[in-house]
Amino acid sequence: MESGDGEVVSNKQVIFKDYVPGVLKESDMYITTSTIKLKVPEDCTNGVLVKNLYLSCDPYMRNRMRKLQGSYIAPLNPGSPVSGRGVAKVLDSRHPDYKKGDFIWGMTGWEEYSLITATETLFKIHDKDVPLSYYIGILGMPGLTAYAGFYEICSPKKGEFVFISAASGAVGQLVGQFAKLLGCYVVGSAGSKDKVDLLKNKFGFDDAFNYKEEMDLDAALKRYFPDGIDIYFENVGGNMLDAVLLNMRLRGRISVCGMVSQYNLEQPEGVHNLMSLVPKRIRMEGFLVYDYFHLFPKYLDMVLPYIKQGKIVYVEDTAEGLENAPAALIGLFNGRNIGKQVVAVSRE
Amino acid sequence: MESGDGEVVSNKQVIFKDYVPGVLKESDMYITTSTIKLKVPEDCTNGVLVKNLYLSCDPYMRNRMRKLQGSYIAPLNPGSPVSGRGVAKVLDSRHPDYKKGDFIWGMTGWEEYSLITATETLFKIHDKDVPLSYYIGILGMPGLTAYAGFYEICSPKKGEFVFISAASGAVGQLVGQFAKLLGCYVVGSAGSKDKVDLLKNKFGFDDAFNYKEEMDLDAALKRYFPDGIDIYFENVGGNMLDAVLLNMRLRGRISVCGMVSQYNLEQPEGVHNLMSLVPKRIRMEGFLVYDYFHLFPKYLDMVLPYIKQGKIVYVEDTAEGLENAPAALIGLFNGRNIGKQVVAVSRE
């Protein structure tokens, strides 16, 4: 079945039904089974036929499931498998860079086997001394996102006060660890006691709090940052951003990575305290990881030794099987995941 | 009376009554007459006794009339004269840098004569070939605000698309002219037909519109910027900012100078479209002119020749007499002023 001899096999898939303006539900996707020939068609130059091992659940995927005006990324096709990043094994290839048996990561489909034609998104996996799933986490886009968003956008300095929302997530847990390694004071917010424990005990944050237990986020931030916040790594938006704006220090920086609390709302919440930007000379900057691919080698050189030395850890939340993929994706917006949400389709 | 011989004279004053949370009204100030001895008291080392000529009405002054949490500038003292920038003539001085007959600009009181003890805010006026009132406008803080906010915060390039709100105001009219001199495409918004005419015909903006006549600001901006906005010079906040966020181009910059539409509101309006910062990689940065005083000489070297050659013009709206000062200040928030709002206390 993995021989790439052209055998036709059944292919379980997660299909995206149609665009959803408000709250995304599991029923907006469904499981089906089709068939696939495990061979790249002859007319498909550069195509790669892969067996998917691990799939990534990321908040940005929500925005491909609505009709967004002028989005940076194309919406998904209703009726087709969900598309996202994954780790896969090459079964057959007409691409000169990839051969049978290689492991790759990049854009693939939510299905057992995928014929990938947009091969420009693929990376070959060279270092297999780490869990393969890391290539959709710490060694993939979430990792580079944390690195670029923290070092490039925030211009952090030792001793600064750093606050991270959604801090136990795929990106946040890394930003916090990078900031600690640099010598910053780091506090994170998350949505459960377990996550708060993880932040304090596993990732080494100086402190952490459960935002759901705080009636007054402004007061909570004043408690954790009596002298204010130099750097805010923004993952959630809405009320949290409003409270942070009241607690920033002079010349603070806000790196806007995402606003996950807003993605299931038809109309985003209003942010009222932007006038704080003026007297405090705050810089607030949005970024996309795509602009920082040139930093990937530098990032891997930094992070791989840290992983191997145990100086940086990475927590994943793994859903087993494609059947559980829709619930895993939905769970991101309810904060159900603890750590990076991964779907294990097959363990090889 | 201007001899500084210690004569005691009557001194008309505009007194600030008390902090106002919502809409500022004329009745929150009142006119009174006290007396003043036209001599710096002996125990007042470094004091300067001045006759006030021109007083500046600026939006930031509104925020000194409320109890703001941790503001960058101290609130006014209820029962004391309104404090603000002005141009004045020195009648008596114990300060080594200023002597009788000098003209100065800086922080003074809303009254005929002031004893200035916080002399670190004062600048001596050297070039008197221009209207003296310019030193609270194009040659003072509004001028440097426009210069720093445009050149330092926006990093403008020739050919870029520049949008300015409150564009006929003290700062906006200059930003637009600087942008035109650099070779940008410049559109401004203002609140009346007269102001729009001024923008197009006097200041040389490429286009301008009356925001009060636009039911849909997003649609208006799409009409004037079909290819989007590279640089937004933010003076107003609220709905306009929300519409601008939908129309920014990739890697756009928003220089946040102020949000005058919000200053009379007890609770600022919500801004809903901040998520646009992410896919468009927008940088939004607040600034205060105080950080750019070191650029003043460079700015004056640039702007004085432009003024004398007629390449930059400056429009002032002058209220005559202290009696009209409260209405002039209130008028800023209703858009009554056309150009920089000045109060002429005396013409020497």
> From the list A256, A271, A279, which residue is nearest B270 (CB)?
A271
Angle, in degrees to the nearest 10, between helices B238-245 and B217-224 = 50
Query: If you count them, how many residues does chain A have?
Result: 348
Q: CA–CA separation, A311 vs A298, rounded Å? A: 17
Give A10's contacts (C-beta < 8 A, 6+ positions apart): A33, A34, A35, A112
Closest listed residue to residue A76, CA positions, set A158, A20, A7, A149: A20
Q: Looking at the predicted structure, is the pLDDT value of residue A277 above 70? A: yes
Judge: B277–A270 Cβ closer than 8 Å, yes or no.
no
| pLDDT at position A210 over 80 | yes
> Is the separation of the CB atoms in B175 and B163 below 8 Å?
no
Contact list, A288 vs chain B (CB under 8 Å): 278-279, 281
Return the residue of A nearest to B69 by Cα. Answer: A246
Q: Which CATH number fits domain B8-137+315-344: 3.20.20.70, 3.30.300.30, 3.90.180.10, 3.30.70.980?
A: 3.90.180.10
Question: What is residue A290's predicted lDDT score, i.e. its pLDDT?
Answer: 93
Q: In the prediction, which pLDDT does B4 show?
A: 46
**Cα–Cα distance, B28 to B18 (Å, whole number):** 7
Q: A53-83 pLDDT, tens per residue?
A: 999 999 999 989 988 765 678 899 999 999 9
List where CATH 3.90.180.10 sits in chain A. 8-137+316-344
Residue B69 burial (C-beta neighbours within 10 Å; 0-12, 13-18, 19+): exposed
Which region holds residue A9: left if phi is over 0, alpha if psi is between -120 and 50, else beta? Answer: beta
Average pLDDT, chain B: 95
Chain B residues closer than 8 Å to A281 by CB: 285-288, 291
Q: Given this model, what pLDDT does residue A71 score? A: 66
What confidence score (pLDDT) does residue B226 get?
A: 98
Rounded alpha-carbon distances, angstroms, from residue A17 to A79, A176, A189, A236, A288:
5, 37, 34, 26, 27
**B166 Cβ neighbours under 8 A, 6+ residues apart:** B172, B189, B190, B235, B236, B260
Residue A6 or A319, more confident: A319
Cα angle A333, A339, A341; round to 5: 60
pLDDT of A243-256, one tens digit each? 999 999 999 999 99
Tokens of B156: 């403008």
Select from B72, B244, B277, B289 the residue whose CB has the most chain A CBs within 10 Å, as the one to mutate to test that interface: B277
Nearest to A270 among B246, B258, B270 (CB): B270
Q: B284 pairs with which residues across the strands?
A: A284, B254
Q: Give B100-165 as a DSSP string.
A: TT-EEEEEEESBSEEEE--GGG-EE----SS-GGGGGTTTSHHHHHHHIIIIIIH---TT-EEEES
Beta bridge partners of B30: B15
B262 to chain A, closest Cα gap in Å: 9
What's the CA gap between A92 and A339, in Å, rounded?
Answer: 33
State the pLDDT confidence band at A263, using cuts at 50, 70 and 90.
confident
Instruction: Give this complex's ipTM.
Output: 0.91
Q: How many residues does chain B have?
A: 348
Closest CA to A71 of A342, A327, A290: A290
Alpha-carbon distance B62 to nearest alpha carbon in chain A (angstroms): 13
* Mean pLDDT value across residues A225-234: 98
- Backbone φ and ψ of B149, nearest 5°: -65, -30
Amino acid present at A291: D
Average pLDDT over chain A, rounded to whole? 95
Mutate to test the interface with B, among A275, A287, A291 (most CBs of B within 10 A): A275
Q: CA B235, CA A68: separation in Å to the nearest integer?
A: 28
CATH code for the structural domain at B141-290: 3.40.50.720
Give the whole-number percent of chain A exceeding pLDDT 90. Answer: 92
pLDDT band (50, 70, 90) for residue A154: very high
In this structure, what token pair is assigned to residue B161? Answer: 């698309």
Per-residue model confidence (pLDDT) at position B69: 60
Q: Which residues of chain B are in CATH 3.90.180.10 domains?
A: 8-137+315-344
Longest dimension (CA), chain B: 67
Query: Is the pLDDT at A127 greater than 80, yes or no?
Result: yes
Per-residue model confidence as pLDDT tens digits over A290-310: 999 999 999 999 999 999 999
Low-confidence ranges of chain B (pLDDT < 50): 1-2, 4
Q: A241 to chain B: which residues are within 8 Å by CB?
A: 274
Enumerate the residues of chain A whose CB falls inside 8 A of the CB of residue B282.
Answer: 285-286
Distance CA(B231)–CA(B240), nearest Å, equals 14
Contact (CB, 8 A) for B104 and B52: no
- What is the distance between the alpha carbons of residues B71 and B143, in angstroms, rounded to a whole number? 23
Note the pLDDT of residue A1: 45
- Angle among Cα B129, B130, B134 to the nearest 5 degrees reads 150
Angle value at C-alpha A164, between A161 and A168, nearest 5 degrees? 135
Question: pLDDT value at position B6?
Answer: 82
> Which pLDDT does position B283 carry in this prediction?
98
pLDDT of A133 over the 70 cut: yes
Q: What is the band of A110 on the pLDDT scale with cuts at 50, 70, 90? A: very high
Q: In this predicted structure, what is the pLDDT of residue A69? A: 61
CA dist A275 and A284 (Å) reads: 12
Q: May I ask the CATH architecture of the domain A8-137+316-344?
A: Alpha-Beta Complex (3.90)
- A interface residues, B as partner, C-beta within 8 Å: 69, 71-73, 237, 241, 246, 256-259, 262, 267-288, 291
Q: What digits encode the pLDDT tens for the residues B292-316?
A: 999 999 999 999 999 999 999 999 9
A323: its two tokens: 């059947």
Amino acid A4: pLDDT:
46
What is the location of CATH 3.40.50.720 in chain A? 141-290
A19-53: pLDDT as tens digits: 998 899 999 999 999 999 999 999 999 999 999 99
Confidence at residue A348, expressed as pLDDT on a 0 to 100 scale = 75
Chain A residue whose CA is closest to B245: A286
The residues facing A16 across adjacent strands are A29
Q: List the beta strands (DSSP E) in A196-329.
A: 207-210, 229-234, 248-256, 283-286, 316-320
Given this model, what pLDDT does residue B348 score?
Answer: 75
Question: φ and ψ at B7, to 5 degrees?
Answer: -55, 145
Long-range CB pairs of B188-192, under 8 A, 24+ apart, other chains included: B188/B163, B188/B164, B189/B163, B189/B164, B189/B165, B189/B240, B190/B166, B190/B335, B191/B335, B192/B335, B192/B338
Tell me the two tokens of residue B237: 């906040």
CA distance B40 to B109: 16
Residues of B near A (Cβ–Cβ under 8 Å) read 69, 71-73, 237, 241, 246, 256-259, 262, 267-288, 291
**Residue A42: half-sphere exposure toward Cβ, Cα within 13 Å:** 0
Chain B hits for A285, CB-CB cut-off 8 Å, are 277, 281-284
Q: Of B147, B173, B124, nearest to B341 (Cα)?
A: B173
Instruction: Sort out which chain A residues have CB atoms less than 8 A from B268's CB and list them.
Output: 272-275
Quick check: A233 and A149 in contact, CB under 8 A?
Answer: yes
Which secondary-structure segment (H or E) carries A154? helix A154-154
Contacts of A268 in chain B (CB under 8 A): 272-275
What is the Cα–Cα distance from A64 to A29, expressed in whole angstroms?
13
| Smallest CA–CA distance from A238 into chain B, residue | B272
Residue A279 has pLDDT above 50, yes or no: yes
Q: Average the pLDDT over A97-111 and give the result.
A: 97
